[in-house]
Amino acid sequence: MFHETARIQPGIRRLWKSDQPQLIDHFQRLDDETRRLRFGGMVSDGFVSEYAEQVLSTDAVIFGSFPDDELRGVAELRGLINSWPRNAEVALLVEPAWQDVGIGEALLSRLIAAAQNRGVKTLHMLCLRENMSMRSLAKKHSAHLEIDVGNVEATLAPSWPTPMSVFEEMFGDTRSYLDTLFHQPK
């Protein structure tokens, strides 16, 4: 279990077909409650394996977090083809032992930049009503929340692409990178 420091370097990069075995392992490690919160209901080992085999498609951009050289968090931007104006769905999952250390926030920021760079006008994120972590994360990114009986739909509106959003998608948090670059130790 990890909780030595408040924030970590999340080690985020885009996932490709060659990452499929790690993605399957990641989903298989999840406990029942985490799976229920991510998929909206109880799902089997077979379901998560099949999902992991299909998620890396041409209609998606998937990022993974490797804080300890092991895949610990996944963020999905799906539905990029065949919609106008462009809409996409966002899904996010961080293993329980790695939550609350900044991985989810870093992954969502990376996805928002990727959506922005692809001209996506509206992002939709659906979660169960009791998933307070996702609701909080959506609020941090100024999402509009609509609460239904059992679900919450968060809607975000990315702005137009900028050089900073391209940098953000490729390398991550531009603010911390620029802080590091311009505030060298004396």
Break the chain into its structural domains and give their ranges: 12-182
**Residues 26-37 pLDDT 10s:** 999 999 999 999
pLDDT in tens, 137-159: 999 988 999 998 889 999 888 87
Look at residue 159 in the predicted model and tell me its pLDDT. Answer: 78
| DSSP annotation string for 128-168 | ETT-HHHHHHHHHTT-EEEE-SSEEEEEE------HHHHHH
What's the average model confidence in pLDDT over 23-51? 93
Q: Please give the residue that has the higher pLDDT: either 180 or 10.
A: 10
- Burial status of residue 161 (CB atoms within 10 A of its CB: 0-12, 13-18, 19 or more): middle
- Which CATH number describes the domain made up of 12-182? 3.40.630.30
Q: State yes or no: pLDDT of 5 exceeds 90.
A: no
**pLDDT value for 84:** 64
For the stretch 90-128, what's the b/e string if a residue is b when 16 or more beta carbons lie within 10 angstroms of its beta carbon? bbbbbbeebbebbbbbbbbbbbbbbbbbeebbebbbbbb
Query: Of the spans 83-97, 98-112, 170-184, which averages the highest pLDDT?
Result: 98-112
C-alpha angle 37/40/44, rounded to 5°? Answer: 85
pLDDT value of position 183: 43
pLDDT > 90: percent of the chain: 48
pTM above 0.85, yes or no: no
Report residue 180's pLDDT band, with 50, 70 and 90 as the boundaries: very low
Provide the pLDDT for residue 86.
Answer: 82
Q: What's at 8, amino acid-wise?
A: I
Query: 137: which residues sit within 8 A by CB, 6+ positions away?
Result: 92, 104, 105, 108
Query: Is residue 175 scored above 70 in pLDDT?
Result: no
- 147: number of Cβ within 10 Å: 10
